[in-house]
Structure 1
Amino acid sequence: MNLLDQIKARAKANPQTIVLPESEDERTIKAAEAIIKEGIAKVTLLGNVDTVKTSAASLGVSLDGIGIVDPATTDKMTEYAEKLAEIRKSKGMTADEAKALLLNPLYFGAMMVKLGEADGMVAGAINTTGDVLRPALQIIKTSPGISTVSSCFVMIMPTAEYGQEGVMIFADCAVNPNPNAEQMAEIAYASAQSAKSIANITEPKVGMLSFSTKGSAKHELVSKVQEATKIAKERYADLVVDGEFQADAAIVAKVGASKAPGSEVAGKCNVLVFPDLQAGNIGYKLVQRLAGAEAIGPVLQGIAKPVNDLSRGCSVEDIVNVTAITVCQAQATK
């Protein structure tokens, strides 16, 4: 059973309610049917009920077992608007302004997650990453002890030589262009949690990457990674992390022993934290293309309850897979 099958199996074992706010997109409607048929999650679509039913009928899609909520007509609107106004009172938001904002399905979906009426949200098939993240950050906010939302990719190698049986986490490859030391430390912690909840990595070993290993080079870029490692070790007592490492010192046992003797993770890392977005994005794409690795993601992390962003070029299968990942994240938050 490959990792994606394992993720789906874990999702099926304890399905969570996932809200899909982009019901005007036919891929989303098709995915909702597939998710229900596979038993991966309970699904709520947002949109005009008649329009959703008409679209489903034209696509030959069954809506059996799928909830449909219309933000424009739901009797929850007054309650939601009052609670959103309370959340955003520091910004001067009124209940009327909140009500207008909640007509946007992305905001309504985020409020459902915030109030526990859904366990997670998946969107981005027709919305930008910024549009998906904005309501999540304003309403759901970040996890305790975390102020930085980041992303990770689950990398599945064609051989089991590296990581945990060929599975590794790469972060951050999609969100933060140039994280500072504190943000890097938070990304390290969030990535370790993702390793456990998504990739089934039982003992995350986090390597903080640089072009230097344990002071072999002196530069302000190296100093940032050194400081990030120090913060991560001090702040997260249960986090197994070390650095700064060059990539080979992080993942190759012989090189790790030579360049970083005495480190408990050198040469054994299964979670790699890159120093900036350029390195992370280039790194995962090179491994994907040159090594033939499968890259699952980006998966958002650091949000108090799971919200995941799709590529606007996503397939129906992509939506189903990301929903399964979101279910696993929701299980972990509970």
Structure 2
Amino acid sequence: MKAMERIIKKAHLDLKRVVMSEGEDPRVLAAARMAVDKQLAYITLVGDEQTIAMTAERHNVSLAGIQIVSTQDSPLTEVLAERLYLLRKAKGMSYNESLEQVKNPLIFANLMVREGLADGTVNGAVYTTSDVVRAALQIIGPAPDCELVSSFFLMMLCEPFHNLKGGLIFSDCGLVIDPNETELASIAIAASASAKSLLMEEPKVAMLSFSTNGSAKHESVDKVRSAAQIVKKRCPDIAVDQDVQLDAAIVTEIAAKKLPDSQVKGQSNVLIFPNLEAGNIGYKLAERLGGAVAIGPLLQGLNQPANDLSRGCSAEDIFNVIAVTAVQAQQDGKIDQVSPASIKEGITN
């Protein structure tokens, strides 16, 4: 899985602090142990310290090198409660309510990220997606230049039977239900940045539709075409194909026939779905029938990294999301000066 190996290699180069709120789950404990042992990130677990220790002992997981913070007796609790109160008092939250809410490990973990006590957070092995996303939006909030917080899946096609090999970005498959043309353009631009950071490749974007280059007439096709034009206007350096069918987006020979003037030429690494219905179906088809490994849903557009997990995730899935979160946290740091070529070389040597 070369694309994932590159992400892990990049995470190694500048260790970040990742906090997780579900340390009482044995999968989270196993992933935290792997992350520390493989020097992927510094890990903090938020929860009841005694329960975490008992679970770790029961599953034979060493907690050496893993920080544990208890929301009940940590000196941070009152400090973070005050921060939460200041953040949410305009919405009617009282200080006593904030003091109660901050004892929720998910809220506590997100506040640690907001206050600079951690660089990113990973949750969702136990919490629902709606809980995870709500906490991230309310506490961490969108980036200052972000019009829309959206999600993506990192899809890995690395098996011998895969004709198309490598990593792909699928967006949005988990959050924005029916984006308008401006929102769809924002999703495409954010997904392009995710591709550049995580795949370490120049983004090649396909705005997916049931039409290719105007072959069908419908308002949903018009939306996709308009969104592509917005992307081209805002980011002229991004290669993007408007209203393109999936086959023409990923098969060079079909692209040559259906879309001879294509910028992407059937070599898309970013697939933008017209709505959540299509995106959710698309990634699950690729995963369940196509044998792709789906990592996510991952969030893009937040002020600091916060990522979700599937409640059916494995320890390895969580480990991979920790790696992605660590790399996202490097975005504003010196690590971006490291070239993708040097990372790839480090893996092959």
TM-score where L is the length of structure 2: 0.87
The reply on whether 1:268 has 2:267 as its aligned counterpart is: yes
Alignment of 1:229-244 (within 5 A): 229-244=228-243
- Helix, strand or coil at the partner of 2:330: helix
Alignment of 1:222-233 (within 5 A): 222-233=221-232
Q: CA separation in 1, counterparts of 2:26 and 2:284?
A: 29
Q: CA separation in 2, counterparts of 1:180 and 1:101?
A: 35
Residue 81 of structure 1 is matched in structure 2 by 81
Unaligned runs of 5+ in 1: none
Cα distance, 1:247 vs structure 2: 1.7
CA RMSD of aligned residues (A): 2.1
Cα distance, 1:190 vs structure 2: 1.4
Q: CA separation in 1, counterparts of 2:11 and 2:146?
A: 25
Deviates more, 1:47-56 or 1:324-333: 47-56
Check the 8 A contact 1:207/1:266 in 2, yes or no: no
The number of equivalent residue pairs is 331
User: Closer, same or farther in 2 for the Cα pair 1:233/1:89, shift >3 Å?
Assistant: farther
User: Closer, same or farther in 2 for the Cα pair 1:244/1:266, shift >3 Å?
Assistant: farther
Check the 8 A contact 1:209/1:274 in 2, yes or no: yes
- Structure 1 residue identity aligned to 2:295: I
Check the 8 A contact 2:35/2:319 in 1, yes or no: yes
- Helix, strand or coil at the partner of 1:198: helix
User: Closer, same or farther in 2 for the Cα pair 1:97/1:235, shift >3 Å?
Assistant: farther
Cα distance, 1:121 vs structure 2: 0.7
- Helix, strand or coil at the partner of 1:178: coil
Residue 252 of structure 1 is matched in structure 2 by 251
Residue 16 of structure 1 is matched in structure 2 by 16
Q: CA separation in 1, counterparts of 2:219 and 2:82?
A: 48
Cα distance, 1:173 vs structure 2: 1.7
Deviates more, 1:152-161 or 1:186-195: 152-161
- Structure 1 residue identity aligned to 2:131: D
Check the 8 A contact 2:296/2:310 in 1, yes or no: no
Q: CA separation in 2, counterparts of 1:80 and 1:237?
A: 43
Residue 66 of structure 1 is matched in structure 2 by 66
Residue 173 of structure 2 is matched in structure 1 by 173
- Structure 2 residue identity aligned to 1:4: M
Q: CA separation in 1, counterparts of 2:273 and 2:151?
A: 11
- Helix, strand or coil at the partner of 2:331: helix
Q: CA separation in 2, counterparts of 1:231 and 1:145?
A: 16
User: Closer, same or farther in 2 for the Cα pair 1:237/1:74, shift >3 Å?
Assistant: farther
- Helix, strand or coil at the partner of 1:170: strand
Cα distance, 1:17 vs structure 2: 0.6
User: Closer, same or farther in 2 for the Cα pair 1:233/1:96, shift >3 Å?
Assistant: farther
Deviates more, 1:89-98 or 1:187-196: 89-98
TM-score where L is the length of structure 1: 0.91
- Structure 2 residue identity aligned to 1:220: E
Q: CA separation in 2, counterparts of 1:193 and 1:306?
A: 14
Residue 204 of structure 2 is matched in structure 1 by 205
- Structure 2 residue identity aligned to 1:247: L
Residue 342 of structure 2 is matched in structure 1 by none
Query: What are the superposed Cα offsets for residues 221-254 of structure 1, whole Å, 9 maximum, x if unpaired?
Result: 1111122112222334553323021222322334
- Structure 1 residue identity aligned to 2:134: R
Residue 42 of structure 2 is matched in structure 1 by 42
Deviates more, 1:275-284 or 1:220-229: 275-284
- Helix, strand or coil at the partner of 1:84: helix
Alignment of 1:240-319 (within 5 A): 240-319=239-318
Query: What are the superposed Cα offsets for residues 179-238 of structure 1, whole Å, 9 maximum, x if unpaired?
Result: 2212211111111121122222x2101111111122222111111112211222233455
Q: Percent identity?
A: 48
Deviates more, 1:211-220 or 1:52-61: 52-61
Check the 8 A contact 1:173/1:298 in 2, yes or no: yes
Residue 338 of structure 2 is matched in structure 1 by none
Residue 328 of structure 1 is matched in structure 2 by 327
Cα distance, 1:102 vs structure 2: 0.8
- Structure 1 residue identity aligned to 2:115: L
Residue 115 of structure 1 is matched in structure 2 by 115
- Helix, strand or coil at the partner of 1:265: coil
Deviates more, 1:313-322 or 1:133-142: 313-322
Check the 8 A contact 2:211/2:243 in 1, yes or no: yes
Q: CA separation in 1, counterparts of 2:274 and 2:103?
A: 39
Check the 8 A contact 2:2/2:166 in 1, yes or no: no
Cα distance, 1:129 vs structure 2: 0.4
Check the 8 A contact 2:3/2:166 in 1, yes or no: no
